[in-house]
Structure 1
Amino acid sequence: MNTESYWSIFINASLVNNFVLAYFLGICPFLGVSGKMETATKMGGAVTFVMLISSICAYGIHALLVAIDAPFLQLISYIVVIASTVQLVEMFIKKMSPTLFRALGIFLPLITTNCAILGLALFQTNKAYSLSQSLVYALGAGIGFTLALILMAGIREQLEFAEVPDVVKGTALTLLVAGILSLTFMGFSGLGT
């Protein structure tokens, strides 16, 4: 069992070791959905919800697989749970908010293949977190993911009004901004000790 404090786990997951800007996990929705603040916020909420559910399930699956001496089934079990959770979230959003469902488009089903969510399950297992620590870790990772999306969306919305040389318009500028954001999050590395 890990004895790390909840606050330390949360800060590490959200800022110091941000899944998008430090581990470079979940880049597809980060680059694809961060064009507008509204969709970025809602995608961040969906990813956070899936992370929380996946974290609980990963904790239970790990305990079960260790009890029956079958830890080799861990990865495939996590993938099945994540895919199922995303399908439930997708059906819920489609039913409750068809406009959001259309706005998120292909990126909503891509949460299934979002390596940030699988990374969360594997990292929490490797760190031997308790259930409550796993939930704090998932919440921190989800909030960090949402923070990265919102920051990127805010910058991209402002850049629409800026005069930018043709050579860096579009994807090139987006990648430059993502790199600079990643560098700024390196400044939080001192908080993790």
Structure 2
Amino acid sequence: MNNEPLWGIFLNACLINNFVLAYFLGICPFLGVSGKVDTATKMGGAVTFVMLISAVCGYGIHSLLVFIDAPFLQLISYIVVIASTVQLVEMIIKKMSPSLFQALGIFLPLITTNCAILGLVLFQTNKGYDLLQSVFYALGAGAGFTIALLLMAGLREQMEFAEVPNVVKGTVLTLLIGGILSLTFMGFSGLNG
């Protein structure tokens, strides 16, 4: 059992140990879907939802597997839950917003292999979080993921209006911006006490 306060867990996952900018997990959608703020917002919401469901299910699966003395099944169980949740999200988005479904393209099913989601479930298990702490950890990680996507998307939209040398256009510029964002988030490490 971990005695961290809920606000501390949320803040830690959101800013101090941001999954994208501190742990470098979830880089695929960070680089691929962050071209437009609108798309980044919706992708962040979808990833946050999958993180929340995965965290709750992961807590239950961990408790069950410890009870039946089968902790070696954790990883495969987590992957099944994540894949199932992503399929549910994909079906909902396809039905509710076909334009968003098209905009997210291949990155929507790639949430299944998003290492940030699997990392979330494994980290919460290793930290010994209870159910409520796991929910706050998932919400903080999802908020941090969304913040990273929005920052990158906003900067990329603004860079369309800037005169950028041909040498750094495209992927190089995106990686430079990502690196600078990562450095700026290192400043939050002082909040950890």
| Same fold flag (TM > 0.5) | yes
Tell me the equivalent position of 1:178.
Answer: 178
Tell me the equivalent position of 1:75.
Answer: 75
Contact 1:13 1:144 in 2 (8 A): yes
Output the amino acid matched with 1:142.
Answer: G
- Tell me how far 1:164 sits from its aligned partner: 0.3
**Correspondence 1:153 to 2:187:** no
Aligned-pair identity in percent equals 82
**Correspondence 1:114 to 2:107:** no
Tell me the equivalent position of 1:88.
Answer: 88
- Tell me how far 1:41 sits from its aligned partner: 0.2
CA distance in 2, matches of 1:149, 1:65: 34
Q: The residue matched to 2:22 in structure 1 has which SS?
A: coil
- 1:105-128 residue CA offsets vs partner (Å, 9 max, x unmatched): 000000000000000000000000
Q: The residue matched to 2:84 in structure 1 has which SS?
A: helix
**Number of matched residues?**
193
Q: The residue matched to 2:113 in structure 1 has which SS?
A: coil
CA distance in 2, matches of 1:7, 1:191: 12
CA distance in 2, matches of 1:75, 1:17: 22
Tell me the equivalent position of 1:45.
Answer: 45
Q: The residue matched to 1:112 in structure 2 has which SS?
A: helix
Tell me the equivalent position of 2:187.
Answer: 187
TM-score norm. by structure 2 comes to 1.00
TM-score norm. by structure 1 comes to 1.00
- 1:4-54 residue CA offsets vs partner (Å, 9 max, x unmatched): 000110110000000000000000000000000000000000000000000
Contact 1:11 1:192 in 2 (8 A): no
- Tell me how far 1:192 sits from its aligned partner: 1.4
Output the amino acid matched with 2:123.
Answer: F
CA distance in 1, matches of 2:133, 2:81: 20
**Correspondence 1:54 to 2:54:** yes
Q: Which runs of 5+ in 1 are unaligned?
A: none
Tell me the equivalent position of 1:125.
Answer: 125
- 1:73-118 residue CA offsets vs partner (Å, 9 max, x unmatched): 0000000000000000000000000000000000000000000000
Q: Which runs of 5+ in 2 are unaligned?
A: none
CA distance in 2, matches of 1:192, 1:70: 34
- Tell me how far 1:132 sits from its aligned partner: 0.2
Q: The residue matched to 1:20 in structure 2 has which SS?
A: coil
Contact 1:10 1:137 in 2 (8 A): yes
CA distance in 2, matches of 1:192, 1:76: 32
Tell me the equivalent position of 2:143.
Answer: 143
Tell me the equivalent position of 1:2.
Answer: 2
